[in-house]
Each structure stands twice: as C-alpha cells, then as structure tokens.
Structure 1
Amino acid sequence: MNCDTAYKIGIIGFGPKGFYGFERLAAFLHEASIFQSIEIHLFNTTRFFAAGDVYRTDQPDFLIMNYANRNINSWTLREPLPIVKNPKDFISWLKQNDIPNAGPGDYAPRKTVGQYLIHCFESVIESLPKNIKVVTHIGSVINVYKNNGDYHVSGKYKDLGNEFNVVCQKVLFTTGHVSFKSQINNTISLEKKIDFIYPTNEKLSLVTPKSQVAVKGFGLTAIDAILALTEGRGGIFKKNDKGILKYITSEKEPYKIYPFSRTGLPMVPRNGSPISELALQFFTDEVVQNLKSKKPISFNSTLLPLIKKEFYYAFYSVLFNNNGHKFYCDDDFTVMENQVQYFHEDYPESPVFNWEAIVNPFKDEPILSSMVQQVYVEILIDEAKLGEDNSPFMAAVAMWRKISPIFNEIYSFGGLDAESHKEFDTYYFGLFNRLSYGPPVKNMQKMLALCKAGILDFSYTKSARIAPNDVNDNFTLEIESGQATEINYLINATISRAKQNGFENELYQNLHKNGLIREYENITNTRYIPGCLEINSKGNPVSKTGIVNNNITFYGTPTEGITCDNDTLSRTRNDFATDWAKETCTAILKRDGRTENYDRTENVL
C-alpha cells in the first residue's frame, strides 16, 4: 500500500458503542502523533450518530432512562485521555445547559441522553486534527467482504436508495440487536404486527383508538410501548388529593392493552438512590480466582449457591439493621443461619428470606388474575420507594448489579459448561435483568394507574398464546384456562438476543457466507450453540477456517452470547474498543514504517 494514500477505517453501527470506539481511536492517534491522511467512515441507519435508535433525540420526553443520572458519563479516565478539553460527565453537562432534573438520582429522558452523546461526538469532531477526515453514511450496511487485503463495506443509503461501497483497512462492528432474529411468529400479518417499536411515534401510529392490543413482553420496552399508546396520545397522569397517580384518558388510546410474557412478572422498579454500601461477602478475590482457574464450571452447582448467599446476606443485613441489630457474616454459613433463627424467634412478624418468593413468587400458579398482578405491582412500588438501605427485598435484588461484572468475567469465552451456558441464557439472564435493572418507580406507578383506569389489563400476562384468526386479520390471545380474547394489533416489545440456528440478519449472513465469521459453539460436556459469532479476548472474529482476523473487531451487542450483558452506556464492560483503537494505531504506524511496536503500557513509541 502507498503510504501517501489515506488509511481508511470503518465503524459499522454508530450508537454509543460506535462513539466510544471513535473516541478511543482519536485519542490513540493523537498520542501517537500520526500526521498522515486518515479517513474514518461512520455507518449508521439513521442521522442520530452517537445516539443510535435507543437515545435518538426525536423521541418524546416520557420515554425515560432506567439508569440514574449519576451513572452516565461518555468519557473515560483511562490513558490516553480524550482529545477534548474539559470533557463533562452527564450531570455537569445538564447543569451547564440549565436542563431541569439534573440531580444524581433523577432519571432523564432518553432523548436528553442522546443530546449529550451527540454533543460529545461533535466535541471530538471539532478537536480532530486536519489530517483526519470523518465521513458519515446514513444507510444500511448489507455486506462486508475481503478483496486484496482490504475490506469492502457495501450497502444502501437511506431514502436515496443509492448503493455505496467503501474500501477500509480496519473495521469495527458495533451494530445493535438487528443482528438477532425477530421473536414474533412470522406467519402473522405484517399489517397488524409491529416487530420493533422505535421510534414509537412512527412505528405505533397504525394502532387505532379503541382497539385491542397485545404486547409481547413485560419489560422496559413493553413499558415504553404502553406509555406511547397512552401518554403519547394525549393522556395525562395526575396525582389526586391523596397523592395517588390517576390516568385521565384522551380517548385516543387503545381500549385494552394486554402485556404477556413467559413468567408474567413485571420488572422490579428502582428509586434512583445510590447503590447500597453492602459489600459482596462470598465472591471474594480468592473465590473468584479459584472459579476462573476451574473453567468451565457449572452454574447451578458452583455459582448459584454463592449468588443465593449474597442475596441472603443483603436481605438480613438490612432487616437486622431495621430492628437495631447487626448481622454478622461468617465463613461457616450455619453460623449466619443460627443468627437468623434467633432473630425470627424474637421478631416473628418479620419477613423471611425465600429465594423462590423473590425470583418467581407465582411459579406454581399457571394463571394469574389481573387483580393478583395489580397487588404485586403495588408491593414492588412500595419496596422500591423504601430503597436498598431500608427494604430487605430491594437490598437482596440489588446484589446482582454488584455480582454482574464478576460473573461476566467467569461467563465469557466458555466459562460455563454448555448446559449451564444454555440455562443462563434462556432463564437466568432474563430473571436477573427483571430483578436488578427495572424502570424508575414513577413508570411503574403509571402502569398501576393505567391498570386501575381499565386500559392496561394483566389477565393474560403469564404463559399466553397468540395465534392468527380469519376475522379481519385479527388474532386470538388465550391462556390455559381457555379464556381468550380477540386482538387487533400485536406488538413485539422484547429485545431480540442471540438464539440458536444461525444468523438472521442479512449482514451477518453475508459475513458468514464470506467466511469472515463463524458461529461459536460451547462443546464442554454437552453442546450448545448460542447463536453468536466466535471472537477472541480482543473482540476479533474467528474465520470459517479458524483463523483470527485482527483487522476486524466486534464490540457491544454483537458479542452477546460469548460475553454477557453489554450495557449500552458502559465504557468498561467488555471494552474491546480500546484494544481495537490501539491495534489500529499500531497498524498505521507499521504501514508508514515508523515502528514495529506501539507499547501503550509504557507510553512510548
């Protein structure tokens, strides 16, 4: 390659993760004092570069975060430091721009987070040296193939329909959940089925007033869909004289909205308070290192007992404290159980820790009435208002957020045996998300108000089935008791994750066909194919022939299945962006003959 030719880099998918990769690349290039011509091509399906679909800035204010303001920061303190002077975290940016509800425990509208992300992106652009050119492409990447050592990124521009083909030397993939398959039956009429709800004002506009709507899922996306069909259509939530939230109809919302899911359980809400100071007691450094040395391990026999003990410890720490006592941890768990036994003898009215009651209180109930669900939601709201420092239940479920980073290290790259890997993906992942990453309390209060107003109906939440019928392209929603109702619209409010049986997205099908990626298989003890691509510890894919490709890196959602829980806004979880930026910088230096090694750890060239 001629050194006078611009070195071209592609980032496919430019939401927060794409921006993080871009920011790290700019920092490494600046530190290495690279003055040669460089082109960075950014590919995104919409104009909301850095914000992506989740944080796009044209969505309504009532679609809010489930992540308190204190946890949001687009910048990293790792060296090399950002090229932007005085980069600001989210709260500082909110205050600088006089944006209300800027407190650490507040939950901002998602569009406000998008505005912050775009501001950060534009700040990096403005700080780039003249030798670095950024080219944005709004459209869909359909194929990437290798030719003469380079990678051709091809697709179609949005609206124009024109095709593009950009040649790159390095490529970072940060595409979202589009790489995974839809979870709604494809035999259902597309005119009455909504497979993806964002942007809600566009995707949900075909739902007519006074219609009957089924919402598949009962998580954060389902709440967004329900609010978009009510508050988003002019309905108003107001507190009455007793401080209870009531819903005032606009007459434009559906007649009934029926959420349904496998367990039928809503997410546990949060109140925005700081995470409790309770430290993990059983996932000690020594234990964790021992677990890592024994990979692959069994989830049920090795990890789950430790998780239960951490929940138990947190539950009783708060319960004891509420009654003026101190709960002591001990390596001998029976010592802790004896403390609990004596405590309950003195306080027989106090709640008792019960794992099953926490994770699935209606496990043995095949059908749940709307009233039972309503009472359960009221209980969850009351517990969330108390917070982690005062509610034993909330203290227990919050422990997963502390365990999660440790668990990710154990889980990733085949850390669980195949049977455990499958069980975690199909059951425990959703369970822990429901317990620990729920919506703000006020959103759950809105769900309760809608239920009391007769619009939100919980009668079909658990184990419902939906099937098309021949009446006006409608559907039938039914449960095991035989209870059924006619549905006019079906909304998929689940987030697709990696599943077995190949890649559904056209881009990933083509990458597979071109031999650039292959499916990951966990073949320890038994066999499990999670439906994700195989990567190494730096995010580089393994090709069809088993060769690691250092010119391509995957980061974020595309790595789920071989890594766990890629938090959209996290700068630290499974951070393949830093290695990618460093290796890209090294490749440019090698091309130009300046050095054979760029050792960032010693900060020398």
Structure 2
Amino acid sequence: MMIWRTEHIVQETNFYTYVQARERENQSLHYSNTVAIVGGGPKGLYALNHFINQLKLYPTSKYFKILWFNQDKLFGCGPNYDIHQPDYLLINYCIGHVQAFHPDYRDYENQKSFVDWLTAVKTIDTPVAPTDFASRALVGRYLQWVATETTRNLPTNVQLELISQPVTTITYQDIKVMVETQTGAWEVDSLLLATGHCYQNSPLVHHPEIPAAHYIRAAYPVSQFAAIPPQEHVGVVGLGLTFIDIALALTEGRGGVFSHGQYKPTGKEPVIYPFSRTSLPICCRGPQYHAQRPLFLMTDAWFRTLMDRSAKIDFLTEVLPSIEKEVQLAYYSVLIGSTDLQAILKKIKCVPKEERFTLKDLLQPSLGSEEEIVSYIQMNIEEAHKGEDKSPRMAAAAVWGKICPWIADLYRTVGYTGASQQQLDSYYFGAFNRVSYGPPIANMEKIYALAKAGIIRFCAFQNPKVRWQTRQQTFLIQDPSGLEIQVATLIDARIGRPALQKKNAFFYDNLLQQGLIKQHENEGYSPGTLSMDKHGKCTTINNVPVYCYGSNTEGVFFDNDTLSRTKNNTACYWVEETLKDR
C-alpha cells in the first residue's frame, strides 16, 4: 500500500492566486443578481460547481455575481485539507473513494477522480492504486485543482469574487440578505451556508487562572504544539482521529522516525496521556474499496419497507435489534467460511449464549488497564491486516459502513422518534464510527509503536473529571475509581458539533440572538442545529433562499462530515431555487 504525499506531485499555483490574477483581467459589469456562499471548504466548492454547471446547461441573459466567503485564503480545500499542513496527516479512507465532481456533469467538464488526477500529476514511477492512501494536504491540492477547473471557463455573465474574511453575521431585509464581516457588508439575493467545523467544545474545566498555552481548546493547526517543551506531560482529551494527528505532530513532527514497527525518538517528545469518557481507542481499517460481503437481513428491500412508513421510526426498537443480528451473522459467517444463512444460524446456536460474539463485544470491550488497551490496539491491527473477508471482527465492524447510507436516508426522510434520535446522536453514532471509520493501518501502527516506546501512556479512565491546580500549575485528571494523573498541558481533541443551546459558534450565536434562526426540534429533542426543512432550507427566513450544507445540517441530516459529492447534497436545492426564475 502506497501513501501519497505532496512531494510526489508537480506543485501548481494555488486557487486563490489563480482567481485573483484572472479577476484583474475582467471588466466590471452590472450584475442583476448577487449570490453568496459562506464557507470555502469542499462543500462550498461543490455548491459553486453546481451553480456554474447549471448556468452552463441552462443559459440565461441575467448577470450573476458570486461572492465566495472564507475565513482565510484556503478556498476549495478549507482547513481540513489545508495544502500547507504536514504530510504525515492522512485521510482515513482509501483514495479510490475520492471524487469531487458530480456524475450529472460528466459530459460537460474536465472531470478527474483523485486517482485519475494523481496519475496525471505524479512525478514518480509508482503506479496509483485505488486502495492507496494519501495525505490530507495532497487531497487539498486535488480540491484546489477542481476549483480551478470549475472557474477556468466561467460563463460570460458570471463573475466570481473571493472574499477572505470571516462572516460575523447576516441581517434580513425583506427580499435581501446582508452578509457582514468585520470590515464590510454585501447585499445578496441568495445565500448558502457551508460553514464547516465552526463549533467549539464546552470547556472541560473552568478556571480564570489557567494560562492559555496550557489549555489548547482546538487541535488545529498542529503547528501550535511547537511551544510544548520536551518531556512535558500532555493530556489529550479524546482517542479518535484527531488524537492521532496530535500524537504524530508531537513525535514525527519533531523529527522522530518510524521504522520496521519501532519508533526512534529524538528526545524532543513530550509524554502523551490520552483519555476519554470510555478510554476506548479508535480501530484502524484496511483499504475498503472492492466488493464487500453481502448483508443477510438488512437488505435494500428491508430498508425500503421502513422508507414507506408514515410514522417516525424508533431506532432503538425497530433498527438496532436488526443491526445486532447482522453484526453477529457477519462475524460467524467469516468464522465458518460460509455465506449460507442456515449454516451460520446453526453455528451460532451451537455456541453457548454467554460466549457468543455480540454487538456489545464490538462496541464496548472491557479494557481496564493500559496493558489491555495496548493489546487491544495490537489485536485490531492484526485483524485489519486480515481484512473483512478473513477477520470475523472486521466483518462485524464493516456492517455499519454498509447500512449507514440507509440509516442517513431514514434520518432525513421518515425520521426517528425524538428519544431514539437522541440515543443515536449521542452514543451509537460515535460508537459505530469508532470501530468502522478509523484510520489507515499505517497510522495505528505508529500509535502502537509510540505506546511501546513509552511516549504514549494510555489511561483506562471511565468518566474522568479534570481539575486545574493553581499551586502546582497542572491539571489533575481523576476517575471515580481513584485513578489519576497530572499533566502540564491539556489538548482538546474532540470535534465540536452544532449546539445552539451551548452558544458554541460565534456566527450562529449572532443569528440566534437576532431571532433570525431557531433550534431544530424533534419531539422534545433539540440536537443543536438550526431549524431547516428536508432540503436544507432555513425555515425562519422567508422570501430569500437561505440554505445550509454540510456539518451545519447535523441533527436534521446524518453523517455529513464526508467528502462525498452526492450524500445529503442540499446545494442542488439551493441552486434550483436560486435559478428558478432565470
């Protein structure tokens, strides 16, 4: 398996510089329609591509000005795929899945998948395989190429303006929306909010005397960790993908070398203590690209019967039991080497009930010490190398990835009851993602090597509490059993999610205070996002198309933190309404 990095390609001019150079060549025209996209990451790029392609397919005499806002100049890639970030930060799925173009426009633009693009621009002889992996910076280069291709031949009646300023608020005036930054305001006829990861987590500890350098509330950019001294004890809140990035930044990013399963330190490393509510580490996975093993119960036909329902679905009683059965069937199917349902059921019946592999075994392994956590990581690496066809555990973990598109469709259309949606959002979504959507094997092998080298010290905490000790200038982390550690620096590796009730996003907090938006609510449960319809349109602003796309739709839509061009694509509805009277 090859891991592709930016050093393997011809470096091109970044998208922002390209557009600015073109803009100086264009003459100013009078534009009868002005539209705005807020957010310069992949979702904003996809929306821009939809808009321009629709104008090419259905020409109009109207003139359109597109204002594309972003907090910085990383248009097209956004912070997640920042082209300047270190190459040891990888995507967590194989590159064969990366396609930033929409299939509807394949006959109208120069489309290349990531694999095709990489094959064209690579500078080494190694062939590109869809099962390879890549750095996030390299994917960012691809996204910026897609942005360049999208704008290379704009229709003559379209002008694109890039505004690299954070949007602070919007105001609503009859049939117009005013988009405001700290230094300016723009009146627009239509607005798409593709604001991405703009949410903060609630602080784990409140104390006015904590030095900012000791409590790092956001993990990116990883360059900020350079100020952490060698040998310092560092606590990391969370054991997911972000934790891996932090660990690599503090080791490989300081010159350490991984070789043949071992880590060669430089002496510049701190000691890293990761922990979470459960202290369960994320599970790695191999390249899942080829045809997958079939499902036994939760077939397309099974899901379609639920899609035809008029009443909301109780996830806990109507879906989860089938997932439990499907996970068990997948496990024993590989164990006995058969896809015959009756043979699998016979095998399960022969296993004593207390010894049968269950969903709980997959999601909630009992890990009571650092040694057990490290052994669990080692076991998972070995199973991931075997793959879904040879590892019963990996086959069981793969079930979620297969049914997730249907889970998301039910979430958006029929809907789940409020109480069961809350359980899905707060527990099952994260638990399934931990075992099904983990990092590539190579990254987890590095975490294992760092644990063996004593640089990562896993803490088997359960629901720990964090307290700042002013006299010692350290954080005390302690769980109910009495386990405790002291660290000088605390890094929050959790990913913030929409939470209007917690006021965790400056922009949306401003809109809520103005009364422009309200919280989405489902039978008494408020997931934290703003109220929108099933097309992503804001329900509280009339007469102006104001839509949401991406992470800001979580709670109404499901699992949007993805590069997918087609999943939960609300941008197409925004474009359709914006251009309906063209």
TM-score, normalising length: structure 2: 0.90
Give deviations 1:412-433, integer Å, cap 9, x for gaps.
Answer: 2671111111111111011011
Residue in 1 that maps onto 2:185: 165
- Aligned with 1:152: secondary structure? strand
1:217 partner amino acid = G
1:266 partner amino acid = P
Residue in 2 that maps onto 1:595: none
Match of 1:357 among 361, 375, 387: 361
1:271 and 1:387 in contact (8 A); partners too:
yes
Residue in 2 that maps onto 1:564: 558
Alignment of 1:328-477 (within 5 A): 328-329=340-341, 336-341=344-349, 352-362=356-366, 368-412=368-412, 415-471=415-471, 473-477=473-477
Measure how far apart 1:504 and its partner are: 2.4
Alpha-carbon separation, structure 1, partners of 2:206 and 2:555: 24
Structure 2 residue 73 is matched with structure 1 residue 47: yes
2:500 and 2:508 in contact (8 A); partners too:
no
Residue in 1 that maps onto 2:197: 177
- Aligned with 1:586: secondary structure? coil
Alpha-carbon separation, structure 1, partners of 2:263 and 2:393: 29
1:181 and 1:498 in contact (8 A); partners too:
no
1:164 partner amino acid = G
Alpha-carbon separation, structure 1, partners of 2:478 and 2:107: 54
Measure how far apart 1:306 and its partner are: 1.1
Residue in 2 that maps onto 1:312: 328
Give deviations 1:352-391, integer Å, cap 9, x for gaps.
Answer: 42222111111xx6xx221111111110000000001110
Measure how far apart 1:578 and its partner are: 1.2
2:500 and 2:519 in contact (8 A); partners too:
no
Residue in 2 that maps onto 1:594: none
- Aligned with 1:111: secondary structure? helix
Residue in 1 that maps onto 2:148: 122
Match of 2:233 among 195, 212, 219: 212
Match of 2:571 among 572, 577, 585: 577
Measure how far apart 1:472 and its partner are: 5.1
2:160 partner amino acid = V
5+ unaligned residues in a row in structure 1: which ranges? 157-162, 240-244, 346-350, 590-605
Residue in 1 that maps onto 2:221: 199
2:327 and 2:358 in contact (8 A); partners too:
no
Alignment of 1:202-241 (within 5 A): 203-239=224-260
2:174 and 2:543 in contact (8 A); partners too:
no
5+ unaligned residues in a row in structure 2: which ranges? 1-28
In structure 2, the CA distance between the partners of 1:288 and 1:483, relative to structure 1 (3 Å rule), is closer
In structure 2, the CA distance between the partners of 1:133 and 1:125, relative to structure 1 (3 Å rule), is same
Measure how far apart 1:4 and its partner are: 5.7
1:71 partner amino acid = H
TM-score, normalising length: structure 1: 0.86
In structure 2, the CA distance between the partners of 1:226 and 1:533, relative to structure 1 (3 Å rule), is same
Alpha-carbon separation, structure 1, partners of 2:463 and 2:189: 49
Residue in 2 that maps onto 1:291: 306
- Aligned with 1:438: secondary structure? coil
2:332 and 2:344 in contact (8 A); partners too:
no
Alpha-carbon separation, structure 1, partners of 2:356 and 2:38: 50
Match of 2:532 among 526, 535, 538: 535
1:15 and 1:50 in contact (8 A); partners too:
yes
Give deviations 1:92-128, integer Å, cap 9, x for gaps.
Answer: 1111011567321111000000000001001111121
Percent of paired sites with the same residue = 33
- Aligned with 1:501: secondary structure? helix
- Aligned with 2:134: secondary structure? coil
Measure how far apart 1:275 and its partner are: 4.9
Give deviations 1:419-452, integer Å, cap 9, x for gaps.
Answer: 1111111110110110110001111110111011
Match of 2:117 among 93, 113, 123: 93
1:21 and 1:577 in contact (8 A); partners too:
yes
2:244 partner amino acid = I
Alignment of 1:237-256 (within 5 A): 237-239=258-260, 245-254=261-270, 256=271
Residue in 1 that maps onto 2:13: none
2:332 and 2:347 in contact (8 A); partners too:
no
Measure how far apart 1:300 and its partner are: 1.6
Measure how far apart 1:340 and its partner are: 3.1
Measure how far apart 1:499 and its partner are: 3.7
In structure 2, the CA distance between the partners of 1:266 and 1:295, relative to structure 1 (3 Å rule), is farther
- Aligned with 2:36: secondary structure? strand
- Aligned with 2:318: secondary structure? helix
Give deviations 1:518-565, integer Å, cap 9, x for gaps.
Answer: 101111xxx21111111111110111xxx6665100000000011110
Give deviations 1:228-287, integer Å, cap 9, x for gaps.
Answer: 011101111111xxxxx1111111111x10001111111110121425522223223443
1:15 and 1:49 in contact (8 A); partners too:
yes
2:236 and 2:243 in contact (8 A); partners too:
yes
Residue in 1 that maps onto 2:12: none
Alignment of 1:537-552 (within 5 A): 537-543=534-540, 551-552=545-546
